Amino acid sequence: MKGRIKTTLLLFSLVLMVILIGNNIHLLLIQKSMDSENKDTYLKIDKNKIAILIEVDKKRLSVIDLATGSTIKSYVVATGKPETPTPLGTFKIVEKAKWGGGFGSRWIGLDVPWGKYGIHGTNKPGSIGFNASAGCIRMRNKDVEELYSLINYNTTVAIVSGDYGPFAHGFRKLRPGDRGSDVMEVQKRLKLKGYYTGVLDGIYGEGMKHALIQYLKDNDLALTDTIEYEIYEKLGIILMD
């Protein structure tokens, strides 16, 4: 009789343990599911309604929800050195790849017309937050991997710096061979005035030089292939504080 009672108590204890263990496993699975759902919250954003804003002067990259105007994510980045500045303007994402080495774990290419630029990871995380690159936007690898999963091809990327648009650091002397958003702005002005007929590619080539010389002749200005303040002003390009 006592043996039967002991056996019954043992079985009851085993059943109770199984129930308790089962409940704990169930709770763990629910928590894991909730954590996974929270982790993927950003991935539920409509990828066709987001854009990227890069503020070079603030060393900040923000993912913007175009439907609400709110910031989904914000990251600290590194940008170009003074001698190799990050291109300013509005571009599109045209390439996505999983590279390595100095480009870190991800590459997101932009359609900058005057060179190959992109957003990528780095094997030098200490450079983040500084002017350190050859013009590209560097991110920590874990950050660029998250960004990579958020964006699609053709996502708009606006790169700005301060209040002067393509002339972020004021006017620079432009000479044949120079490249950049300021070169493209001059091309636009010469095209609007009927002088430049080439591609708006941000590259100061022979076509732009010919257009400039003809414009200077027609306006009784000293002939030069160097664009300085007087020519900027004549073209209607003025920096406003």
Question: Under a CB-based contact definition with an 8 Å cutoff, are residues 168 and 106 in contact?
Answer: no
Provide the annotated active-site residues: 120, 136
Q: Which two tokens stand for residue 219?
A: 């306006």
Q: Which residue has the tokens 């936007």?
A: 137
Residues 6+ apart with CB under 8 A from 93: 108, 109, 110, 111, 151, 152, 153, 154, 155, 157
Is 113 in a helix, a strand, or coil? coil
User: Given this model, what pLDDT does residue 152 score?
Assistant: 95
List where CATH 2.40.440.10 sits in the chain.
47-160
CA-to-CA separations, 106 to 45, 133, 135, in angstroms, rounded: 21, 16, 16
CATH class of this structure's domain 47-160: mainly beta
Question: Under a CB-based contact definition with an 8 Å cutoff, are residues 175 and 226 in contact?
Answer: yes
C-alpha dihedral, 63 to 181 to 57 to 61, nearest 10°? 10
User: Given this model, what pLDDT does residue 186 score?
Assistant: 97
User: Given this model, what pLDDT does residue 138 score?
Assistant: 98
Beta bridge partner(s), residue 95: 109
Q: How many CB atoms are located within 10 Å of the residue 165 CB?
A: 15
**What pTM value is reported for the model?**
0.76
- Give 20-53 pLDDT, tens digit per residue: 555 555 445 445 444 444 444 455 678 889 999 9
Q: Over its length of 241 residues, how does the chain's per-residue pLDDT go in tens digits?
A: 555 555 555 555 555 454 555 555 544 544 544 444 444 445 567 888 999 999 999 999 999 999 999 999 999 999 999 889 999 999 999 999 998 888 999 999 999 999 999 999 999 999 999 999 999 999 999 999 999 999 999 999 999 998 778 887 688 999 999 999 999 999 999 999 999 999 999 999 999 999 999 999 999 999 999 999 999 999 999 876 5
User: Given this model, what pLDDT does residue 22 score?
Assistant: 53
